[in-house]
Amino acid sequence: MNNQTLLSRGMIATMFAQFFSACADNALLFAILALIKTLHYPEWSKPILQMVFVLAFIISAPFVGQIADRFSKGRVMLCSNAIKLFGAFVICIGISPFLGYALVGIGAACYSPAKYGILGELTNGDNLVKANGLIEASTIAAILLGSVAGGYIADLNVFMSILMCILMFTVAMLANLFIPKLAPARTGMSWNILAMVREFIKSAKILLSHQQARITLIGTSLFWGAGITLRFLLIDWVPIALGISDNKTPTILNAVVAIGIVIGAGLAAKFVSMKQSTRCIPAGILMGIAVICFSVQSNMAISYLLLIIIGALGGYFLVPLNALLQNFGKQTIGAGSAIAVQNCGEYSGMMIMLGLYSMSVALGFSTILIGVGFGVLFSLAITSLWLWQKRK
């Protein structure tokens, strides 16, 4: 199916499903962080919790893209949300939050290539950039609501906040049922595990051999590694810079970043075409500089402004690169397989960044120093990528 209409029934259902699934994902993270706080886990366990989630993505990467391409992607999204729901239930009944969050990570890993891969089947041409903008806007709206609701309700009752996540995963599953059952992108391939791993490696080599796809993989991996670190940086920055130790304030600051991403995603969808997609790279350099400026702030109003700028630059940087990779993947190895390779790169970047952040916290470095160092590192990395792209 290649529908010229941007807001088709399938696209609307996909946005609703993504909204509730992402809303639950973000609320659940802050609910679990509140839970491990009440259980008196050490401070360095917070990024470790996220690393458990990320590790599930990396391990499952060779398989989930091929699964997304071999079945109707709407049904893959349905099953993925069911796995997430089960992970939240495991946490709710008192089993290890790390185990439950690992299950949620497996569900999210299966969900991602189906979610992004289906966009190329529901839209085409420059509508694909617009569809990515809509999905990112839906995701960020979910982050806004989910983060704030998760932190606020966790301050009242941790158990109720996890129960709310279970309800939202259920609503996402119902929305998945309204996505048309599209034909699988690829059929007749082996289900042998070693064969799937070889196919994944082959797909990765095809993407890395193409200049723009390679730049996209590196750029989005750096972005998400930075994004996940910024989330934990905010959690630790609030009590130091603002003297506030509740669960709600960090979620509000994360929501402010999300507002900026909505703005950036909208600007990218309006002003960046598929052929101009790599022109968004300088926004990543400016994002790192903005993080440096934010890290040394203690004024609330200026901090809000800088977080909106960070989010806007991030959204403008990310959306065109995602559309470029999906389009190239659809024409070569299948969109689901391309997104799976992208996820492997992104979550490997997250694992490295989280590992460095956790180690820095364990060694006793100040949050402000970590933030400045992280911003410098990110800006230098994106600058190197930009210069390399210009030279090529």
Could you give the angle at which helices 45-70 and 211-237 cross, rounded to 10 degrees?
150
In a domain, 4, yes or no: no
Distance between CA 288 and CA 210 in Å, rounded? 26
Residue identified by tokens 């100040």 is 366
Residue 185 located in a structural domain: no
Q: Cα(305)–Cα(123) distance, rounded to whole angstroms? A: 35
Domain membership of residue 96 as a residue range = 9-179+202-391
Q: What percent of the chain has pLDDT over 70?
A: 93
Query: What's the pLDDT score for residue 3?
Result: 43
Q: Do residues 31 and 158 touch, judged by C-beta distance below 8 A?
A: yes
Cα separation of 92 and 169, whole Å?
A: 14
Q: Is residue 140 part of a domain?
A: yes
d(CA 127, CA 115): 16
* CA atoms in the 13 A half-sphere facing the CB of 44: 11
DSSP 95: S
Are the C-beta atoms of 177 and 78 separated by less than 8 Å? yes
Over its C-alpha atoms, the chain yields an Rg (Å, rounded) of 20
Q: Is the pTM of this model over 0.75?
A: no
Task: Give the domain CATH number at 305.
Answer: 1.20.1250.20
Average pLDDT of the segment spanning 340-359:
83
- The pLDDT, as a whole number, for residue 1 is 42
- What per-residue confidence (pLDDT) applies to 187? 65
Residue 1 included in any domain: no
Query: Do the Cβ atoms of 321 and 55 come closer than 8 Å?
Result: no
- Does 51 fall in a domain? yes
Q: What is the tally of structural domains in the chain? A: 1
Residue 2 lies in a domain: no
DSSP run (H or E) holding 312: helix 300-331
Q: Between residues 247 and 357, which one has the greater pLDDT? A: 357
- Locate 390 and state its tokens: 């210009």
Mean pLDDT of 37-48: 78
In a domain, 190, yes or no: no
Range of weakest confidence among 51-60, 256-265, 329-338 = 329-338
In a domain, 197, yes or no: no
pLDDT, one tens digit per residue, over 159-217 is 899 999 999 999 999 999 988 887 776 666 666 788 878 888 888 888 888 877 888 88
